[in-house]
Each structure stands twice: as structure tokens, then as C-alpha cells.
């Protein structure tokens, strides 16, 4: 297994963990940890997709990661007010 495949599988672990913890109500979508897990998952899957030239996966996970970062910034902004 090459390096990018391992990174891709790590992304899957981040995504599934985030969704599992959300579904079990251990995490809330209002917490930054949930969105950081989504960002890390998206980043890993984008890196894997670049290595295998999978453009649709690059786009969807790139957007997913941007949404996660935007949400984290929004949460931090609310905390500072």
C-alpha cells in the first residue's frame, strides 16, 4: 500500500468517526471538533484523489473541507463576541 492510499484511508477514518460521534450525540455540530474531523477527512481524501487524478473527489472533498473551515471560523467568531 502506497503513502497516498494510507492517507486516503485515514481520511475515511476521520469522516466515519465524525459522523459516528455526531450520530451517537457524543459530538455536536456546534462544536469545532466535529468540523475539524471533517476538515482533516476532506484534506486526506483530496490528497489521495490528487494522486490518482480523481477530479470529482477532489472537488467534492475540497468543498467539504472549505465548509468545515468556514464553520469553525464562524464558531470561533461567535465565542469571541
Whole-prediction pTM: 0.94
DSSP letters, 20-60, are: HHHHTTSS-TTSHHHHHHHHHHHHHHHHHHHHHT-HHHHHH
28-75 pLDDT, tens digit per residue, is: 999 999 999 999 999 999 999 999 999 999 999 999 999 999 999 999
DSSP class of 2 = -
Which residue range is the domain that position 75 belongs to? 3-80
Q: Structurally, how many domains does the chain consist of?
A: 1
Amino acid at each position: 500500500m502506497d503513502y497516498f492510499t494510507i492517507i486516503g484511508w485515514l481520511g475515511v477514518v476521520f469522516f466515519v468517526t465524525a459522523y459516528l460521534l455526531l450520530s451517537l450525540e457524543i459530538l455536536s455540530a456546534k462544536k469545532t471538533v466535529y468540523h475539524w474531523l471533517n476538515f482533516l477527512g476532506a484534506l486526506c481524501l483530496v490528497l489521495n484523489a490528487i494522486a490518482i487524478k480523481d477530479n470529482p473527489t477532489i472537488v467534492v472533498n475540497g468543498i467539504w473541507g472549505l465548509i468545515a473551515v468556514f464553520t469553525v471560523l464562524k464558531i470561533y467568531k461567535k465565542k469571541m463576541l
